[in-house]
């Protein structure tokens, strides 16, 4: 009797106890993710929508996201204003060697920080933290003068050299992150290699490196992104051959000048609106290479983040 009652009760009970919380959880999760995801994608959606708009669209209250007509005028304007092709080439010439050098040097140096008790290592580590914290602007002028005296100013070599010596853009941060990664790896594997007569350099290369692949991938993506987006350093250390990011900072003023000239003929008071649309188009074509690169690498990137090392 009691057993029968139990089986009768258990069906709705299991639904209530197991399925419902799970359902609620997944519902809550989807709503949460959708909400935050929208916030994350908002600027890109906004840029895309804005850059296709004509002046009349921006006035039209019925047009919020989808423009009434499909036109590429804004893109053409932005493309010409920035001299896009040349700027992209400039970006790539700085970016690729710097990223390779930076990732290699940061791995090498951070291994030194994590594994060897060199005299004064704590002092050096303090110096590392120090170099991360200090904003570039506070030592920009002496750096500029020094680079000038080394005849490196206004060349790509200044970026390569800094990347190679572990002082490229945010190198300190990567060294810090990687040191933490290395410290979390068990020492036993390396000790086994030492006992077998491997020297520290080859141990680093053949034993440690294969185990930190996810970290390498993460650092590489960061490095690419920050070299691509940097405008403070390249803006100050270069006089010409500006990369995309620096060109974009100048677009707004160039745009206003050009539109002022055209204003008398066609546009009148709508300058501000048109310039916003063109600016949005300029922003979009600047981030487009980075986004498309990301979409290609994304799968390996997330997999790399996911892939467990031998930790634990």
Residues 197-226 that bind another protein (CB under 8 A): 199-201, 204, 214-215, 218, 221-222, 225-226
Per CB under 8 A, contacts with another protein among 4-33 are 26, 29, 32-33
Among 56, 249, 262, 300, binds another protein (CB under 8 A): 249
Q: For residue 176, what are its two tokens? A: 């810090």
Cβ at position 262, least distance to another protein in Å: 19
Residue 153 binds another protein (CB under 8 A): no
Neighbours of 277 (CB within 10 A): 25
- Cβ atoms of residues 169 and 248 within 8 Å: no
CA dihedral 70, 74, 75, 76 (to 10 degrees): 110
Residue 273 binds another protein (CB under 8 A): yes
Cβ at position 253, least distance to another protein in Å: 11
Rg (CA), the chain: 27
Per CB under 8 A, contacts with another protein among 103-122 are 105, 108-109, 111-113, 115-119, 121
Residue 36 binds another protein (CB under 8 A): yes
- Cβ atoms of residues 156 and 93 within 8 Å: yes
Tell me how far apart the alpha carbons of residues 132 and 288 are, in angstroms, rounded to a whole number: 29
Cβ at position 167, least distance to another protein in Å: 4
- Cβ atoms of residues 144 and 241 within 8 Å: no
Cβ at position 80, least distance to another protein in Å: 18
Residue number, 14 or 26, with CB nearest to another protein: 26
Among 15, 41, 89, 296, binds another protein (CB under 8 A): 41
Residue 81 binds another protein (CB under 8 A): no
Cβ at position 1, least distance to another protein in Å: 31
Per CB under 8 A, contacts with another protein among 172-191 are 173, 175-177, 180, 183-187
Tell me how far apart the alpha carbons of residues 255 and 79 are, in angstroms, rounded to a whole number: 12
Among 54, 90, 166, 208, binds another protein (CB under 8 A): 166
End-to-end CA distance of the chain: 51
DSSP 54: -
What percent of the residues of the chain are helix, what percent strand, and what percent coil, each to the nearest 5? 80, 0, 20
Residue number, 9 or 124, with CB nearest to another protein: 124
């Amino acid at each position: 009797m009691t057993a029968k009652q139990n089986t009768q009760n258990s069906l709705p009970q299991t639904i209530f106890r197991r399925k419902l919380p799970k359902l609620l959880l997944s519902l809550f999760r989807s709503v949460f993710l959708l909400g935050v995801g929208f916030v994350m994608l908002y600027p890109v959606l906004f840029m895309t929508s804005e850059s296709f708009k004509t002046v009349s669209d921006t006035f039209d209250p019925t047009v919020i996201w989808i423009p009434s007509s499909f036109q590429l005028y804004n893109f053409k304007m932005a493309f010409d204003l920035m001299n896009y092709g040349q700027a992209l080439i400039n970006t790539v010439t700085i970016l690729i060697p710097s990223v390779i050098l930076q990732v290699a040097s940061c791995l090498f140096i951070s291994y030194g920080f994590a594994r060897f008790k060199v005299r004064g290592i704590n002092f050096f580590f303090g110096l590392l933290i120090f170099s991360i914290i200090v904003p570039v602007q506070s030592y920009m002028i002496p750096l500029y003068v020094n680079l000038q005296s080394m005849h490196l100013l206004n060349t790509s070599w200044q970026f390569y050299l800094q990347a190679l010596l572990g002082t490229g853009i945010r190198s300190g941060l990567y060294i810090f992150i990687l040191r933490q990664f290395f410290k979390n790896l068990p020492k036993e594997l390396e000790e086994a290699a030492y006992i077998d007569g491997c020297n520290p350099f080859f141990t680093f290369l053949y034993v440690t490196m294969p185990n930190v692949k996810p970290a390498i991938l993460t650092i590489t993506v960061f490095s690419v992104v920050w070299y691509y987006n940097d405008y403070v350093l390249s803006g100050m250390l270069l006089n010409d051959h500006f990369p995309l990011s620096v060109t974009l900072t100048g677009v707004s003023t160039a745009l206003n000048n050009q539109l002022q000239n055209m204003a008398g003929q066609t546009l009148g008071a709508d300058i501000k609106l048109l310039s916003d649309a063109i600016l949005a188009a300029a922003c979009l074509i600047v981030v487009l290479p980075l986004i498309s690169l990301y979409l290609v690498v994304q799968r390996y990137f997330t997999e790399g983040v996911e892939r467990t090392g031998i930790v634990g």
